Structure 1
Amino acid sequence: MQNELANYLTAVGKTNLGIVALQLGQILSGLEGATGDLAIYAAAAVRWNDKIEAAHAYSTNPANSGYLTFDSHSSGPGVTLELTSRADTLAGTPYDDVFLAMTPGQLGSTDVIRAGGRGEKGNILKATLAAGEVVAPTLYLMDYVYITAGTGAQFDAEKSYETGILWLDAAPGGNVTFTGVDSTTLVGIQNSLAGTALTVLFKPPSDRNEPVKLALFDATGTDEIIVPNAITLRIASMPGSVATTTVNSAKITAGAAEEIRLYGEQALTTTITGAHVEVIHAAYLQAPLDLTFATTGATPIGIIGGIAADRITVNDASGGRAAIDAGDGADTVTIGARNAHSITLGAGADVLALTGLTGPGSWALGLGSSAQLARSTIEVTDFASGIDQLRLAAATPTAKAAPSTAQLASIAASASLLDAATLAANTAGAIKAIAFRYGADTYLLVNDATAALGSHDSLVRLIGVSAVVDGDWTAV
């Protein structure tokens, strides 16, 4: 629209800009009650006419001189208006107003609510929907919409224009749906009393990668937010008004999402599910994250933890490769062995638990060359001996081998990584785990039931670690 307008203004020339501006103003002034495709201009028309009226009142007063200026925020006595069970048409003041529909049946699809100006606190609508109730009111310039809804209720925001925040507030459980939500509206759950599944259907954004915004405030009822049609999600975990709440807890189900970013100041416990998720980014989360994620198909996943003590659990049953950067803090990372994953532990006393080693579904070692073997190892960066812990869990109970100093020296002197791993497997024996050095790195080999190097053995590389002590790792 902006590009087309610019092209039109260029075509008419500078001498006709005043006429064009007058024409546009006349068109816009008549769109306050617009419906259908033109309804998106109604809120702008209300603001335009308010400014024109104020300018006219100012300019016709002989006592005024100079230019009229408008405050971005108005301050003054707003009003509280209550809806009825009939078709209501309400208009607010130029200040902060509150609209109440606290009894089911008061907010309906025939209601039209026009907030006036926007003050410092914002215009608020609070409504309660009964179980199974479906409403699609017309709303203009509402800064905050709080919906308390019974199971099966649906709030359709298709006719809501310039809504700032849309909350599911104090939901008693069950499932609730928000539809037709503009991609610029922040949607969230607050003050949850029980586990509620909130499905949010956003309008398609102009840019498919434009992020939609979600938030959790005092969401402690093991809630779930389901967003089936958004590519990029931004999810905030924030403290609410309940001082005793220290952790938000909610599942995130995002069927089309490719990127999910987590941020905020409140600890978050979440299980994220999505068939196309490629990135989970929590570097800007200021509190601990407890994340559970299951890979899907062969889609690789990159996970970045936050600055606190995070717990990251990845179920890699599908075989998708994971690259994890746990970030700062004393983190715990748990992941399977169905691919050659890459894990960076970062600062702090971290724990890395690798599960399903040497099992039938574990990633096959490449034994054709040292290069193939290197590509099939699980790589760990930033492991600090004496600080971090490595826990190896094999499909079959496995014990540590006890190689001699001479045996370890022979392994370290091998001509290639493949030779070193082969000798280490022979030295360790069946169903044993052995730590050995080769080059600048330390490797841990978990042997299966065959006392020789095989494709179903598992190999872990601790990059840049010259040696480990017995207390650094366990094998079970």
Structure 2
Amino acid sequence: MAQNFFDEPYVVMTILNRALTDKSPNYGSFNHQVALAAEKGVNTTALEFGALYAGATDDQLSTLLLGNLGLLPNPGLQASLGEYLVSVGKANVGMVALQLGQILSGLEHATGDLAVFNAAAVAWNKELVASYAYSLDPNWGMSAPDTGNERTGVTLFLTSGDDLLSPTAPEAKFKTTDLNDTILATTAGWLSVSDAIDGGAGMDTLTATLGAGTSLAPLLRNIEKVVIAAGAGAEFGVAGIPSLQQVWLGPSSGDATFFEVDLATTVGVQNSSTGSTLTVKFAGASGPSDTGNIAIANSRGQSEIVVAAIETLRVTSTGGNSFQPNHARITAPDAQKIIIGGDGALTATVTGSHVSVIDASALIQGLDLKLSTTSGVAVAINTLAARKITLGAGGDTLAITGLASPAAKDIDLGTSAALAASTIEVSEFVSGTDVVRLSSYVATSKAAPGAKELASIASAASLLDATALAATTAGANKAIAFRFGADTYILVNDSVAALGANDSLIKLTGVAAMADASWTSA
């Protein structure tokens, strides 16, 4: 048993991840780390975790740790920590990181000279709680855990000088490996055109900070992933890097531009809490049918991604769930088709006057979609993802598949308010102009209720009562449209001729009367 709370394996791993990597591992990786920490003990775990940073200087480690702990700028503390690392040896940086994280956690209510750390301690503890909650949630992924030595390479730091990193570099601090290396340039200006970086084999990541207004196209080779923290107006070019698979705008970034991006490279926004704008300029996007790929990961800040000269835009959402969906504004002035997929819930506004198709049938988490400056769009979505759809101008067609199935999102029959919250909501629907096409798990035809039956449903005491009456009126494997209050609802009944959780309910907000030609059921 751990001697105290801070020695608990899950606390140890949360502190080490945040203090050294500034990351939160997913559910599968975190549980693997915790199991290893419980088996090996706190000291061994911390030392092995810190060994990945053997190539860094004492000053670089001091900057890394204090920055991740939220204690910079503080030149005096930075110098003191650097001196301390010299005295204890860099091999112990994992233990130092753990101890610093533990000490800072206890300073929320410190007095005297230590009171200056109160605010940083509060922020640090909130960060640890949020990180642990993320890693403990199975919705954030069960990918194969990184077991460490098999794939994880070295962590190298760029300097203010001209750096040459490669597998053949004579000094260890500049020598990349055939494993998954991490290269850091966390100070603006330390990544420059004078640097030459060859990651060698493996899946290598470059994380860099660009100052405001900087325009940079560095010499990179064998780098598979780039993460940029950009100052306002920064521009980053990635031409001539055939190995590059992903380039991301990281957290706390201003408006930025990525240019000369290969069409095979995925461009995205990750861990964003600000409403910055990322403009993406793909290289070679001059034909009539170019396809580009963008991604949104763990981003809550209403970031905008602007992509021009692309006819088909693939959007992948990862990391969001129903409680904390990703938020993004997607502006695609030339796109004709937008394909939305992934395993992360997404709230998105799509702007594009040429968009004619939005296919979200492969998305497996909730989608709140709003169309802006569009007209005559065919939207396809499955019932797992359908949450709220706001249509645009002109005659839109909304197709929802998989309704009233065992795998569909259940409707909540606890109260009328709960039922209303669990509907699939469609806004800006114009009867006689727009069309909704419903496809069910089992073939479902439209019911034909009489005027008296519809009047009885409309006069029910509550939405729950109205929907229950609609279910028995329609019968098994039937879909029925009815009005309640100021809105029209369509209930898709499963094989039971009574209201049940597996039924699906669509709300057409503000639609007083539904033309029969404006909806179909199959």
Q: TM-score, normalised by structure 1?
A: 0.57
Give 1:106-121 correspondences, 5 Å limit. none
Aligned with residue 319 of structure 2, among 256, 275, 283: 275
The offset of 1:462, in angstroms, is 0.7
Amino acid in structure 2 at the alignment position of 1:344: T
Please state if 1:377 is matched with 2:423.
Answer: yes
1:404-446 per-residue CA deviation (whole Å, 9 max, x = no partner) reads: 3443333334343333222221121101111122232211110
Please state if 1:438 is matched with 2:488.
Answer: no
CA pair 474-163 structure 1, distance change in 2 beyond 3 A: same
1:317-375 per-residue CA deviation (whole Å, 9 max, x = no partner) reads: 45x4x432122313333333347822211213222222222122333333344333322
1:422-473 per-residue CA deviation (whole Å, 9 max, x = no partner) reads: 2221121101111122232211110000011122211111111122223212
Q: 2-side partners of 1:109 and 1:157: how far apart?
A: 23
Please state if 1:304 is matched with 2:349.
Answer: yes
Report the counterpart of residue 244 of structure 1 in structure 2: 287
Q: 3-state SS of the aligned residue for 2:351?
A: coil
Structure 1: runs of 5 or more not aligned = 1-35, 38-88, 91-100, 111-131, 203-207
1:46-71 per-residue CA deviation (whole Å, 9 max, x = no partner) reads: xxxxxxxxxxxxxxxxxxxxxxxxxx
Q: 1-side partners of 2:351 and 2:215: how far apart?
A: 26
Aligned with residue 262 of structure 1, among 292, 305, 310: 305
CA pair 191-392 structure 1, distance change in 2 beyond 3 A: farther
CA pair 272-157 structure 1, distance change in 2 beyond 3 A: closer
Q: 2-side partners of 1:392 and 1:237: how far apart?
A: 36
Report the counterpart of residue 454 of structure 1 in structure 2: 500
Report the counterpart of residue 123 of structure 1 in structure 2: none
Report the counterpart of residue 73 of structure 1 in structure 2: none
Aligned with residue 407 of structure 1, among 453, 457, 462: 453
Contact preservation (8 Å) 1:255, 1:274: yes
The offset of 1:148, in angstroms, is 11
CA pair 147-231 structure 1, distance change in 2 beyond 3 A: farther
Contact preservation (8 Å) 1:345, 1:380: yes
Q: 3-state SS of the aligned residue for 1:373?
A: helix
Structure 2: runs of 5 or more not aligned = 1-58, 61-160, 172-179
Give 1:143-222 correspondences, 5 Å limit. 164-167=214-217, 176-178=224-226, 185-187=234-236, 189=238, 196-199=244-247, 209-211=252-254, 213-215=256-258, 217=260, 219-221=262-264
Please state if 1:323 is matched with 2:368.
Answer: yes
Contact preservation (8 Å) 2:489, 2:506: yes
Q: 2-side partners of 1:356 and 1:413: how far apart?
A: 30
Q: 2-side partners of 1:179 and 1:461: how far apart?
A: 41
Aligned with residue 390 of structure 1, among 422, 429, 436: 436
Q: 3-state SS of the aligned residue for 1:474?
A: strand
Larger Rg: 1
CA pair 160-325 structure 1, distance change in 2 beyond 3 A: closer
The share of aligned pairs that are identical, in percent, is 28
The offset of 1:273, in angstroms, is 3.1
Q: 1-side partners of 2:228 and 2:429: how far apart?
A: 48
Q: 2-side partners of 1:294 and 1:275: how far apart?
A: 9
Q: Comparing 308-317 with 176-185, which one deviates more in the overlay?
A: 176-185
* Higher fraction of strand: 1
Q: TM-score, normalised by structure 2?
A: 0.53
Q: 1-side partners of 2:423 and 2:231: how far apart?
A: 42
Q: 3-state SS of the aligned residue for 1:444?
A: strand
CA pair 253-413 structure 1, distance change in 2 beyond 3 A: closer
Alignment coverage as a number of residue pairs = 347
Report the counterpart of residue 359 of structure 1 in structure 2: 405
* Higher fraction of helix: 2
Amino acid in structure 2 at the alignment position of 1:224: T
Q: CA RMSD in A?
A: 4.8
Amino acid in structure 2 at the alignment position of 1:373: L
Q: Comparing 466-475 with 159-168, which one deviates more in the overlay?
A: 159-168
Q: 2-side partners of 1:162 and 1:369: how far apart?
A: 52
Report the counterpart of residue 224 of structure 1 in structure 2: 266
CA pair 425-179 structure 1, distance change in 2 beyond 3 A: closer
Amino acid in structure 2 at the alignment position of 1:470: D
1:15-65 per-residue CA deviation (whole Å, 9 max, x = no partner) reads: xxxxxxxxxxxxxxxxxxxxx88xxxxxxxxxxxxxxxxxxxxxxxxxxxx
Q: 1-side partners of 2:195 and 2:302: how far apart?
A: 27
Contact preservation (8 Å) 1:294, 1:314: no
Q: 2-side partners of 1:314 and 1:239: how far apart?
A: 26
